[in-house]
Each structure stands twice: as structure tokens, then as C-alpha cells.
Structure 1
Amino acid sequence: MWKRLCLVAASAVALSTLSACVVAPARPGYVHDADRDGVPNTYDRDRDNDGAPNRYDDRPRNPYRR
């Protein structure tokens, strides 16, 4: 009986620690940062980080074109 109780307790602890490792999907409040420079795309003046400001960039989301 004692062995079974310890096994159940160990299983419960293992399951609770594994549940913290699950990655949650993006939520409505998620802020997208395509170029990973720390500035959200809504405020980023150079979204693709290619050196050309978005308003002069033909493709502001493509880092390989200016």
C-alpha cells in the first residue's frame, strides 16, 4: 500500500512539472516582432531590418529587398 501511494505521488509530481513545459499558442494580446529587434511591428519603422524605412521600402516585410 505504501509503495503504491508513493508511486502515485511521484506520478502526480512528474505530470505537474511536465504540464509547465507545454508551449501555449499565441493569444490575442501577442505582439509580433518579425525582425526580432525588440520593437513590435506596429511601431517599427523598419520592419524587416534591411536599413530602408518602411515608407520607402517596396516590400517592408522582406529583408532581402529594398
Structure 2
Amino acid sequence: MIQLHKLSHEREPFHLNPDLIERVDASPDCHVTLTTGTRIAVCETEDQVVAKVRTWRVDVLAQAMRLAG
């Protein structure tokens, strides 16, 4: 799971399964569209969301390789 913050006056944090992300758009606010069709406005930039997803995937693969070795 990656932690993001909903775009609101409180910057509400939430955790999201990156496997559910279909698309990330910046127009002008950053919106994450899920495979379910849900669209969430987040405080993070498009690049920050992509970096969080990449880091999460690298961690998952590294753990899998440690377990397989």
C-alpha cells in the first residue's frame, strides 16, 4: 500500500493499493483514477504518485527475491 493525501482542507491521509490505479492525471490538480472508475483528487504531484508506486513495486519484488533465495 502507498500513502497519499486526499485534496481537501485537512489533507486527509489514506492508503491505496497501487494495483488498483488505472491512471494518474494532472489537470491542474492531481487525480488518481482507479480500475473501479473511482477518481480521487490527491495533494501529491503526478511524479510523486508514480515514484511511490515504483518504490512499492521494487520493495515487493525485493521481498519476493529474498524469500525465493
The TM-score, its normalising length taken from structure 1, stands at 0.32
Q: Which has the higher helix share?
A: 2
> TM-score, normalised on structure 2?
0.31
The one of the two structures with greater contact order (alpha-carbon pairs below 8 A, sep at least 6) is 2
User: If each structure's strand is expressed as a fraction of its own residues, which one has the higher value?
Assistant: 2
**Which has the higher Rg, Structure 1 or Structure 2?**
1
